[in-house]
Structure 1
Amino acid sequence: MLKLSAALLALTALSNVAQAHEIWVERDGAGPARIYLGEPADALPPGGDPEFEKLKAPRIVPASSAAQARKAGYIEVAVPAGDVRVIDDTVFAPWGEEGKKEGVVYYARAGRADAKAALPWEIVPTAANGDSVVLMHDGKPVPAAKLTVISPDKWSKIVTTDAQGRVTLPVQGKGRYIVTTSQEETGDLTLGSAKVAKIYHIATLTFVR
């Protein structure tokens, strides 16, 4: 019984970590992209988040052959000018008991010059460099979705998309903003080669104002 309880606690802890973490991308001008794994509302620990080692090879969209260099707490990659998009479904292996397994897929975007979606889940500006965004899932807007806006000085506010999946972000002052959202999908699903009953789709948008 003690071993079983310990295993359940470990699975619960893994679930909480996977849901609390995000992948986000930072980019200054046309410089290299920096890909992070962690909790963007908190200050990044020296050397990066404790789970950073699980971020192995995030996929750039569209695919890029640029080398990914591991730095202290982030992965650096030289990509063409413009918005940067990343997807990763391999950070945390599916967890839980058979028939009820859960998993997580991360989607990240830096920049808001392109008012189009290129990821299955994406927070997209409705106009280039505008403060109004829409959450898109497979090309369709997602109404009543909660988004968390994290300011440069780490205050955060939750906003909700309207019936058209849109919301205006409470952006005040200059600096780097991070917008996050977590959406759940349930059913007879597959993640990688594993059968799962639930997938957490966690998306971020990062931009500098």
Structure 2
Amino acid sequence: MKPTASLAFALMAFATAAQSHQIWIEQAPGQNASVRFGEFAENLREVSPGTLDKLGVPSAALLSSKEERAADGVKTGDGYALPFRAKAGDAIVAQAPHYPLYPFKRGDQQLTGWYFPAARLVTELAPQAPKLVLDVVPAGKAGELQVFFRGKPLPKAKVALVTQSGWAKEKQTDEQGKVAFDMPWQGVYVAEVSHQDETPGERQGQGGPERYHRVDYVSTLTYVKPDGLPAVPAIPAPTKKANH
């Protein structure tokens, strides 16, 4: 049975909405970290039951000078709780590779894409080695970041830096994958980068192997700046629709 036009449109709209989202890692003072799914700049955190359930369980790792500790997230009402927190000098990385594949068209071809979100939380801006397939890491200078894809610097990548107030600025990486931003305020900053890999492949799904034609990587870097101008308050969270 072929899907109806309305169903195909709904699937495409669903895929577009998913790709506009990202995951990021939050860590309140003195508490363990959590993985959120939504739109940080819009103060949108998807919930369960709801869109959060489509994300699938993310895997995470605490990176410290002493050890690397891996764990899966545990679903809560508005994210996935992790069993650890990053102390000074530590970092946390996470990825959610189980989001359902989505259909897209290229000419007359009906193809399948894989949305692959990932995230990193850092506690300082000292240089760090990449760990994720698409990774954003501090480059060692204030406000300077570096983007890597499969361990190599990624030039000409668009990086957006946003704050909880909704302020955002976008720049492009140089040939070394580096980009620099002013960070005048205290508080949480989230940098986001995306990259399409047109290499087809196969992943293991719940029902068996799943073929895909491209991968849409979306990765974030979260940093809480301790000094600067007073943080601007977060914008109001969007009102949830009844059918969301």
Q: Structure 2 length normalisation: TM-score?
A: 0.75
Identity %: 21
The equivalent position to 1:136 in structure 2, one of 148, 159, 177, is 148
Question: d(CA) in 2 for partners of 1:45 and 1:22?
Answer: 10
Question: d(CA) in 2 for partners of 1:89 and 1:124?
Answer: 20
Evaluate the alpha carbon distance shift between residue 180 and residue 4 of structure 1 in structure 2; reply closer, same or farther with a 3 A threshold: same
The equivalent position to 1:105 in structure 2, one of 79, 101, 116, is 116
* 1:103/1:191 contact within 8 Å kept: no
Letter in 2 for 1:199: V
Evaluate the alpha carbon distance shift between residue 168 and residue 15 of structure 1 in structure 2; reply closer, same or farther with a 3 A threshold: same
Evaluate the alpha carbon distance shift between residue 150 and residue 115 of structure 1 in structure 2; reply closer, same or farther with a 3 A threshold: same
Q: Point out where structure 1 has 5 or more consecutive residues left out of the alignment.
A: none
* 1:52/1:74 contact within 8 Å kept: yes
Question: d(CA) in 2 for partners of 1:148 and 1:49?
Answer: 29
Letter in 2 for 1:163: E
Once superposed, what is the RMSD of the aligned Cα atoms? 2.5
Evaluate the alpha carbon distance shift between residue 30 and residue 138 of structure 1 in structure 2; reply closer, same or farther with a 3 A threshold: farther
What is the count of residue pairs matched by the alignment?
205
Evaluate the alpha carbon distance shift between residue 105 and residue 47 of structure 1 in structure 2; reply closer, same or farther with a 3 A threshold: closer
Letter in 2 for 1:111: V
Instruction: Determine whether 1:95 maps to 2:109.
Output: no
Rg larger in structure: 2
Q: Would you identify which runs of 4 or more consecutive aligned residues in structure 1 move more than 4 Å?
A: 45-50
Question: d(CA) in 2 for partners of 1:4 and 1:152?
Answer: 40
* 1:179/1:205 contact within 8 Å kept: yes
Question: d(CA) in 2 for partners of 1:11 and 1:180?
Answer: 25
* 2:26/2:34 contact within 8 Å kept: yes
Query: Shift in Å at residue 29 of structure 1?
Result: 4.9
| Matched position secondary structure for 2:198 | strand
Please name the residue that 1:70 is paired with.
Answer: 75
Please name the residue that 2:179 is paired with.
Answer: 167
The equivalent position to 1:208 in structure 2, one of 216, 220, 224, is 224
Letter in 2 for 1:116: A
Please name the residue that 2:53 is paired with.
Answer: 53
Question: d(CA) in 2 for partners of 1:145 and 1:37?
Answer: 22
| Matched position secondary structure for 1:32 | coil
Per-residue displacement from partner, 1:54-88 (whole Å, max 9, x unpaired)?
2332001355247x443331222122532110011
Letter in 1 for 2:169: K
Please name the residue that 1:196 is paired with.
Answer: 212
The equivalent position to 1:123 in structure 2, one of 114, 136, 148, is 136
Question: d(CA) in 2 for partners of 1:57 and 1:63?
Answer: 17
Please name the residue that 2:84 is paired with.
Answer: 79
Question: d(CA) in 1 for partners of 2:222 and 2:92?
Answer: 10
Per-residue displacement from partner, 1:38-65 (whole Å, max 9, x unpaired)?
1112122695794112233200135524
Q: Structure 1 length normalisation: TM-score?
A: 0.87
Per-residue displacement from partner, 1:121-163 (whole Å, max 9, x unpaired)?
1001112x74211100111000000011112311111111011
Please name the residue that 2:15 is paired with.
Answer: 15
Evaluate the alpha carbon distance shift between residue 22 and residue 49 of structure 1 in structure 2; reply closer, same or farther with a 3 A threshold: farther
Letter in 2 for 1:153: S
Question: d(CA) in 1 for partners of 2:196 and 2:101?
Answer: 14
Evaluate the alpha carbon distance shift between residue 130 and residue 191 of structure 1 in structure 2; reply closer, same or farther with a 3 A threshold: farther
